[in-house]
Amino acid sequence: GLPAAPILCSDTTVALGRTIYGKPADAADAARMLRELSGATHRVLTAVAVQNGRRRLAALSTSRVTFAALTAAQIRRYVDSGEPMGKAGAYAIQGAAAAHVPSLSGSYSGIMGLPMYETAQLLRACGFSI
C-alpha cells in the first residue's frame, strides 16, 4: 500500500590481485585477510544502483588503498576490537584501520561503502534534485 519510491543499493568488495575479500566469517578469517592485505595496495570496488520505476542505473567506484606492514600484535588488537566484522576486507577506513593506511586514491566514501559522487550522479539522472 505504499507509494512507489526509488530503490538505492550498494555493495563493496576488496580485491588484492585476483583474490576477492568479502566480509570475514569470524575473527580468524578477519586476521587472515588483514595479514594478506598488510604491506600491500589493494582495490576497493563499490557498486551502486538506483531503480526508479522501470529504469535502473548503476555505477562502479574503484579506489586503491595501501596498508602499512602490520605486526601480528596490531592485527590481533584490531580484530579483538570487533571493528573488522561485517566489513569487506575486514576493515573500516573510517575507523581505527585508518591509522595503518599511508595512502589511498579514489573515493573515500566509496571505500566506506556508498560512493557519494556516483550516487548523486545516478539520482540526478533519475530526475532527483541533489
Active site residues: 11
Tell me which H or E stretch contains 27. helix 27-37
As a whole number of angstroms, the distance between CA 77 and CA 69 comes to: 15
| Cβ-Cβ contacts under 8 Å for 47 (sequence gap 6 or more) | 10, 11, 12, 58, 59, 60, 61
Phi, psi of 90 (to 5 degrees): 65, 30
Pairing of strands 41-52, 55-66: antiparallel
As a whole number of angstroms, the distance between CA 20 and CA 32 comes to: 13
Tell me if residue 14 falls in helix, strand or coil. strand
